[in-house]
């Protein structure tokens, strides 16, 4: 027995960048999985000492107590503005914002869009579970048409409440964006894939290629009124058709060095944008 | 960047590390001075009448290795200030009244997270969009309710271009010392008028003391730092707020500033700050020429209100006159100090109208007549 | 032989590991509750464990350690 133990190697354990703290997340909440993936990526890159994370308002508000790197708690929706400034002050820090759908796509939409279009070298981890979890299950900007929530008790009526926002599709039009991918974490395979995407987003930032965001289509068993496993099934059945998984922008795959080069090419017919051979006209 | 952009935006000065005297607009002097105080990060959003301040920063920051960033809104700008302050930098933003209302969110969060930073309000008339002419109608906002929750901003009120410069230069030290947001409450008149100003020495931000609480990355050398204003346990939040108010008590004890002009023998004390104090000073001078014993008490800190110095005048002053460019806001603080020992009257214009020295003089004469009448009764 | 251990201080009994395990050796212990009031997950047959880490990958509370 003793010999066997000696040969045993730990192949899965808590990453160093995730503090041994019991989270406030409900049983089965996907926040916990994604928190861990971010921490694993920080560990793999060996950047915990120079990483600054920005926590949102919402269920992951207390992420500042979970991550071992320096953390800032932002006002609701303002994480991209806070992240922008941290990165401007310390350009060699790794800066990530961790946000939910209400925070990122409703109250913080302006901050999200403008940080993206400025091409801030930051990474945003976006949890889309189509509901406001922390406040008890209200309609979110990403709640599906006909989805029943506390504030759409008869189902989201698009004639009155409008349509959900598809964040990756929206941001993919912006020139400052280097990498966008939508993933989920409903199976071990998809968890591995989500981690690859998060790793790529951090790599994108470290290589100073531009703004990166990974959207994780997630669940909220508590406010959906389902068990964790039923919640995954509901997500697969309803959310994935509305929010298709995949890469929405990857300037490197498109053959550019970074977002700036891709933006320049897109505007190649505009003489003001593309500098002439003789140099500037001033 | 075009080669003809001057190194020093307005005056073309070349030597930055020496004190120098130049003619500048208030907004620009403030901006230059803030940079010289080691501020390398400015986040703003266009609004009149603070315009020149942001424009000056945009022009000048690249030459000192700093960052000027035009945010998507005042809300984003103040949250960038929050982020840069959390990251340990000297940082500022500027706006005018409607924009400052939007910033109140971030200012409250800064106070709640004990973050230093400088916020400039070049006031214009309100409420709502109001107007774009000079005003002092944000006194209550600045001193009473610069955001939700139990907190104070430390508020300075300059009255000359030189003071715009000097107060901005010192504001960062005060903000860092108390880890609290500081506001300079100026107005469109001070911001846009030109006066000679002696600029202070350039401070290299690299020489400033390190902030061990800042979120700069722990470098595997310490526990993680957290910048936060959320405390879900009532007892915990109460203790933190109580500790913050002990800090405010120290600020009140150490930082009250004011100017007393001809107050020693005055029967009537005119109390005025900022632009209106310039008008009041003229009126006081004319009244003195006419034999009226009147003085000017000018608060330089609006919070903490200079209670101690004003209290000293209560032993002899027979009446007070608060002169403001609003409907009467600072008068509340004057009354709290005078506490019924003498009448406190008000003269003000609002909506962007600047009172004239003659209007104030007329009011002083009325008060003088009333005092003589009372003495004769 | 691989070994799965569950830290009951972290486990919230969500059952994600039970669903994820390809050899069906994870179960919730319905006969006891953790100090936080959850039925914790447990491995009922270590012998069968293939050390694939699926349980740990799906665990939102990082309660599972896998050795092999």
Q: Are B201 and B34 in contact (CB under 8 A)?
A: no
Within an 8 Å CB–CB cutoff, is residue A72 touching chain B? Answer: yes
Give a yes or no: residue B195 inside a domain. Answer: yes
Specify the 3-state DSSP secondary structure of B29. Answer: helix
In a domain? residue B214: no
Residue-wise pLDDT for B86-123, tens only, equals 999 999 999 999 999 999 999 999 999 999 999 999 99
Count of domains observed in chain B: 2
The residue from B186, B207, B228 where one domain ends is B207
A36 CB neighbour count, 10 Å cutoff: 24
Q: How far is A59 from chain B (nearest CA, A)?
A: 13
Q: Kind of pairing, strands B226-227 and A70-73?
A: parallel
What distance in Å separates residue B216's CA from the closest CA in chain A?
Answer: 7
- Domains in chain C, number: 1
Any idea which residue has 């989920």 for tokens?
A184
The SS3 call for residue B124 is strand
The answer to whether residues B196 and B303 belong to one domain is no
* Alpha carbon distances (Å) from C22 to A10, C51, C55: 20, 10, 9
Confirm or reject CATH 3.40.50.2000 for domain A2-266, answering yes or no.
no
pLDDT at B186: 97
Residues B360 and B300 in one domain: yes
Q: Which domain range does residue C47 map to?
A: 3-67
Beta bridge partners of A213: A124, A180
Contacts of A69 in chain B (CB under 8 A): 217-218, 224
pLDDT at A86: 98
Contact criterion met (CB < 8 Å) for A10 and C38: no
The pLDDT tens digits along chain A (282 residues) read: 444 556 789 999 999 999 999 999 999 999 999 999 999 999 999 999 999 999 999 999 999 999 999 999 999 999 999 999 999 999 999 999 999 999 999 999 999 999 999 999 999 999 999 999 999 999 999 999 999 999 999 999 999 999 999 999 999 999 999 999 999 999 999 999 999 999 999 999 999 999 999 999 999 999 999 999 999 999 999 999 999 999 999 999 999 999 999 999 999 999 999 877 655 444
B31 and B147 both lie in a single domain: yes
pLDDT at A253: 98
The C-alpha atoms of residue B87 and residue B110 are separated, in whole angstroms, by 13
Instruction: Look at residues B147, B177, B207 and tell me which one is the last residue of a structural domain.
Output: B207
User: What's the pLDDT score for residue B20?
Assistant: 74
| pLDDT more than 70, % of chain B | 95
Average pLDDT over residues B53-68: 97
Q: Closest-CA residue in chain C for A229?
A: C16
Write out chain B residues lying below 8 Å of A56, CB-based. Answer: none
Does residue B212 sit within a domain? no
Q: Using an 8 Å Cβ cutoff, are B203 and B149 in contact?
A: no
The pLDDT tens digits for B258-286 are 999 999 999 999 999 999 999 999 999 99
**pLDDT of res. B374:** 86
**Nearest C-alpha neighbor of A85 from the set A103, A99, A98, A72:** A72
The residue ranges of DSSP E strands in B190-335, in sequence order, are: 194-199, 226-227, 258-261, 268-271, 294-299, 301-303, 319-324
pLDDT less than 70: residues of chain C: none
Residues B46 and B195 placed together within one structural domain of the fold:
yes
Give the range of the structural domain holding residue B279, as residue numbers without chain letter.
Answer: 259-376
Tell me how many degrees the CA angle B219-A259-A33 measures, rounded to the nearest 5: 50
Could you say which of A49, A72, A282 has the minimum Cβ distance to residue B227?
A: A72
Of B163, B188, B207, the one marking the end of a domain is: B207
Mean pLDDT of B123-133: 96
Residue of C27, C60, C66, C67 to mutate, testing the A interface (most A Cβ within 10 Å of its Cβ):
C60
Please answer yes or no on whether A192 and C14 come within 8 Å at the CB atom.
no
Nearest to A103 by CA among A135, A71, A72: A135
| Per-residue confidence (pLDDT) for residue B17, from 0 to 100 | 55
Note the residue count of chain B.
Answer: 377
Of residues C55, C61, C13, C4, the one with CA closest to residue C33:
C13
CATH code of the domain covering residue B33: 3.40.50.970
Task: Let me know whether B267 and B172 are in one domain.
Answer: no
Residue B46 lies in a domain: yes
Residues B280 and B189 occupy one common structural domain: no
B224 within a domain of the structure (yes/no): no
Side-chain-facing half-sphere of A93: CA atoms under 13 Å: 29
- Report in angstroms the alpha-carbon separations of B354 from A192, B17, B163, B187: 67, 37, 20, 11
Same domain, B58 and B132: yes
Q: Phi then psi for A201, rounded to 5 degrees?
A: -65, -45
Q: What is the SS3 assignment for A139?
A: coil
CA distance A277 to A281: 10
Shared-domain flag, residues B368 and B263 = yes
Q: In which residue are the tokens 């008060």 written?
A: B367
pLDDT at B3: 33
Q: Are A188 and C52 within 8 A, CB to CB?
A: yes
The CATH code of the domain that includes C36 is: 3.30.70.20
């Amino acid at each position: 027995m003793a010999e066997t133990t000696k040969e045993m190697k730990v192949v899965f354990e808590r990453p160093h960048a995730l503090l041994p703290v019991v989270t406030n997340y409900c049983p089965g909440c996907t926040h916990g999985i994604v928190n861990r993936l971010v921490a694993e990526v920080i560990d793999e890159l060996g950047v915990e000492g120079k990483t600054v994370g920005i926590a949102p308002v919402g269920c992951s508000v207390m992420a500042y107590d979970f991550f071992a790197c320096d953390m800032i708690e932002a006002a609701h929706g303002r994480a991209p503005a806070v992240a922008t400034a941290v990165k401007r002050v310390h350009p060699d820090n790794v800066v990530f914002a961790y946000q939910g759908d209400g925070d990122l796509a409703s109250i913080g939409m302006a901050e999200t869009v403008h940080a993206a279009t400025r091409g801030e070298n930051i990474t945003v981890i976006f949890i889309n579970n189509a509901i406001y979890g922390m406040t008890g299950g209200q309609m979110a900007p990403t709640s599906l048409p006909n989805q029943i929530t506390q504030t759409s008790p008869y189902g989201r009526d698009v004639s009155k409440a409008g349509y959900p926002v598809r964040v990756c599709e929206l941001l993919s039009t912006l020139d400052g964006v280097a990498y966008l991918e939508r993933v989920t974490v409903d199976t071990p395979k998809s968890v591995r894939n989500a981690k690859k995407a998060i790793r790529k987003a951090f790599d994108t930032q470290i290589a100073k290629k531009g703004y990166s965001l990974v959207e994780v289509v997630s669940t909220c068993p508590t406010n959906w009124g389902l068990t964790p496993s039923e919640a995954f099934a509901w997500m697969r059945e309803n959310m994935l058709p509305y929010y298709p998984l995949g890469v929405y922008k990857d300037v490197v795959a498109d053959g550019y060095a970074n977002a700036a080069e891709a933006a320049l090419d897109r505007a190649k017919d505009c003489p003001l944008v593309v500098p002439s051979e003789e140099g500037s006209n001033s | 960047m075009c080669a003809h952009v001057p190194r020093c935006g307005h005056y073309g000065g070349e030597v930055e590390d020496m004190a120098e005297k130049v003619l500048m607009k208030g907004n620009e002097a403030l901006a230059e001075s803030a940079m010289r105080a080691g501020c390398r990060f400015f986040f703003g959003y266009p609004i009149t009448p603070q315009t020149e301040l942001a424009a000056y920063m945009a022009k000048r920051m690249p030459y000192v290795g700093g960052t000027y960033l035009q945010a998507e809104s005042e809300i984003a700008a103040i949250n960038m200030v929050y982020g840069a302050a959390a990251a340990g930098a000297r940082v500022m933003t500027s706006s005018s009244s409607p924009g400052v209302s939007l910033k109140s969110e971030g200012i409250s969060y800064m106070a709640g997270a004990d973050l230093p930073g400088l916020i400039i309000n070049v006031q214009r008339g309100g409420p709502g969009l109001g107007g774009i002419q000079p005003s002092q109608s944000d006194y209550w906002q600045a001193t009473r309710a610069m955001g939700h929750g139990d907190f104070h901003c430390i508020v300075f009120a300059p009255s000359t271009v030189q003071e715009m410069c000097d107060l901005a230069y010192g504001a960062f030290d005060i903000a860092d010392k108390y880890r609290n947001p500081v506001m300079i409450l100026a107005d469109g008149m001070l911001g846009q008028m030109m006066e000679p100003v002696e600029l202070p020495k350039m401070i290299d931000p690299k020489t400033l003391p390190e902030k061990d609480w800042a979120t700069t990355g722990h470098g595997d050398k310490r526990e993680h730092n957290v910048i936060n204003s959320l405390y879900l346990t009532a007892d915990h939040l109460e203790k933190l707020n109580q500790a913050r108010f002990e800090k405010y008590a120290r600020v009140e004890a150490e930082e009250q500033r004011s100017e007393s002009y001809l107050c020693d023998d005055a029967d009537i004390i005119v109390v005025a700050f900022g632009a209106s104090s310039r008008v009041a000073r003229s009126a006081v001078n004319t009244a003195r020429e006419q034999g009226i014993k009147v003085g000017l008490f000018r608060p330089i800190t609006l919070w903490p209100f200079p209670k101690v110095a004003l209290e000293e005048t209560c032993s002899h002053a027979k009446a007070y006159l608060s002169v403001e460019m609003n409907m009467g806001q600072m008068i509340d603080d004057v009354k709290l100090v005078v506490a019924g020992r003498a009448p406190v009257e008000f003269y003000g214009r609002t909506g962007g109208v600047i009172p004239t020295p003659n209007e104030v003089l007329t009011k002083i004469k009325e008060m003088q007549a009333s005092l003589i009448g009372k003495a004769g009764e | 032989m691989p070994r799965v251990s569950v830290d009951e201080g972290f486990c919230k009994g969500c059952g994600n590991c039970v669903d994820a395990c390809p050899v069906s050796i994870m179960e919730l212990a319905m006969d006891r509750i953790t100090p936080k009031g959850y039925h914790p997950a447990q491995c009922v047959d270590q012998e069968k464990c293939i050390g694939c880490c699926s349980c740990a990958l799906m665990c939102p509370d990082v309660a599972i350690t896998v050795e092999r």
